[in-house]
Chain A
Amino acid sequence: MAGSGPGKALPVRRRRRRHSQWRGLLYIAPAMALVIVFFVMPVLFTGWMSLHNWPLLGSPRWIGFNNYFRMANDGRFVSALRFTTYYTVIVTIAIFAVAFPLAIFVEKHRRFVGAYRTIIFLPVVVGLASASLLWVWLANVDSGFIGPALKALGLVEKSPNLLATFDSAFFTIIVMVVWKIAGFTMIILLTGLQAIPSELTEAARIDGAGRWQRFRYLTLPLMRRTIALALIISVTGSILAFDQFYIMTSGGPQNRMISVVYYIFNQSFVSFNLGYGAALSIALLAILVVISIVQLRLLRVGEDRP
């Protein structure tokens, strides 16, 4: 662009561009300031802190990589990792198992389908903390709703305490999260479904492909990218889970529901081992980066065969 005009116009143009260069930076300056102070600095600072014994009061002491060695022998961290993985796998499967049929259900052009979509989506816009509180009450043994309702229906003899054992509490949390998140995944999958040209499905039908065959050999492959995207969102979201365990079970029976973020929270803000908390954060970041890379590969594979 600079070399395109006649010779005489060049200096004027160049001056205007330099002028506008500064203006552009000026416009983005507030955003950059926030990102540097509340994002870049904390990220770098996490690394620095992780090499220290950093109590809340008193001065930090350099201890090299000791926090990381400590992590390797920390049974509670290992079990938090194991629990988070378990939760992520189960919840992701559960969300897909519910959201996929829902997406197919609301894709049809029928009356009231818009209303169904909106209602299924409603829980997505309320907070996870609100949803957790709501379900804590629903699941409460006597004055909650679920237990007495089951009893009234004659399904159980005595109202069960759903949050008392690991399995029933875990199941309740999964139901809550599916209720809260399924609408979101449904909408993502719906856009993928709607992008499939109807001529293709029609042609397959004429060729004699049954409903299942059409789904298995047409819909699923064509939705690979959308599915990968919904998977990424679900997996990364689940790895960071905290609110539901903190609010619904306070870590659960025998502290078996401590997720990784919950454990970082405990180390940093309950025990005030800020340096160790930072080292744990770095570990969490590393895990997320590895998962992101793997998943981006997945997405790219989806792109190769659209």
Chain B
Amino acid sequence: MSLSSRRRARKAFRAESTYHATGVAIALFFLAPFAITLLASFRHGTEARLPPLPPWPANGISFDSYRSLDTFGAGVWQHTFNSLLVSLATVALTVAVSVLAGYGFSRYRFPLKNVLFVLIIATLMIPFQSILTPLFIILARLGLNNSLFGLTLVYVTLQLPFSVFMMRNAFDAVPKEIEEAARIDGARDLKLLFRVLMPLVLPGIATVAIFAFLNAWNEFLAALVLLSSNEKYTLPVLMMAVRAGRLGAVNWGAVQAGVAVMTLPCLVVFLLLQRYYMRGLMAGAVK
């Protein structure tokens, strides 16, 4: 008996080891590109042109690559600031607009309600890539061409189907009794919304905010088309100049540094707020 149980234990151990060996190999494939790039971005300027073996900074950590990134466009701070400004403004506006709309769709009855809701959701059916040309013209007519604010408004609109859907469901999940009790206590409309209901839908707001941030921070094509002057570029657009290089020579150190600047915020936001991100993913997928 003890022999067979020992054999079984050995078999289980072997299966376990095989499983984790596979797991580590898979994890390496998905992590390595990040790790290699990040490590390489800290190599000395003289090392940057050499083959990246080993990829880590062999002669001590240096910020040469980040410094050289700063010599492109209007400087990396300016472009990071542009990206942050657009992303945070997109988050703020998306949250404000979708909380109001979600509340309206969840709690009020009005004519054409379903038609209007479907119209907002339909934005998903027609991808923005296919309306970029007229968007370009319309923004110009509104005096919002080459403007970070115009780009923000476009990003907010792109976020609406998901966000309004998310917020309507969040308000739907709040029991009517809570609202009625607050009404009896004298809370009305906006006060009711901000004081009583907002804390209850906070998880939904977190989800909407994360998606708005990541999508605005990462967006490339609309920014490329709608921004035309150098100092307005967001990070992904700036990186096209870095990638193109100067006089036929590409500064790969600057590319690595730029990738690090662009990816780190996304990874941090995701790792800190995984739960809310996954909630949004599921809601989006089920819909």
A interface residues, Cβ below 8 angstroms from B: 17, 20-28, 30-32, 34-35, 37-43, 45-46, 49, 102, 105, 108, 110, 112-113, 115-116, 118-123, 125-130, 133-138, 140, 142-145, 148-149, 152, 159, 179, 183-184, 187-188, 191, 229, 233, 236, 240, 242-243, 247, 261, 264-265, 268-269, 274, 277-278, 281-282, 284-285, 288-289, 292
Contacts and interface: CB of A to CB of B under 8 A. Distances in A.
5 contacts: A27-B108, A28-B116, A130-B259, A135-B33, A144-B252
A4 to B, nearest CB: 15
Contacts of B263: 126-127, 130, 134
B197 to A, nearest CB: 12
A127 B221 contact: no
A133 B270 contact: no
B133 A277 contact: yes
A143 B105 CA distance: 55
B283 to A, nearest CB: 12
B267 A122 contact: yes
B202 interface: no
Contact of A149 (B19, B26, B53, B214): B53
Interface residues on B, range: 35 or more
Contacts of A20: 108-110
B218 interface: yes
B189 A46 contact: no
Contacts of B1: none
Contacts of A159: 51
A122 B156 CA distance: 24
Main secondary structure of the interface of B (DSSP, over half): helix
A234 to B, nearest CB: 12
B33 A138 contact: yes
Interface of B: 16, 19-20, 22-23, 26-27, 29-31, 33-34, 36-37, 40, 48-53, 55, 96-98, 100-101, 103-105, 107-111, 113, 116, 119-120, 123, 125-127, 129-138, 142, 153-154, 156-157, 160, 164, 189, 214, 217-221, 225, 236, 239-240, 243, 250, 252, 255-256, 258-259, 262-263, 266-267, 269-271, 274, 277-278, 281-282, 285
Q: Which of A49, A122, A289 has the most CB of B within 10 A?
A: A122
Given A126-B267, A142-B51, A35 B120 contact: yes
Given A28-B105, A34-B160, A110-B19, A143 B48 contact: yes
A140 B218 contact: no
B30 A46 contact: no
Nearest to B264: A126
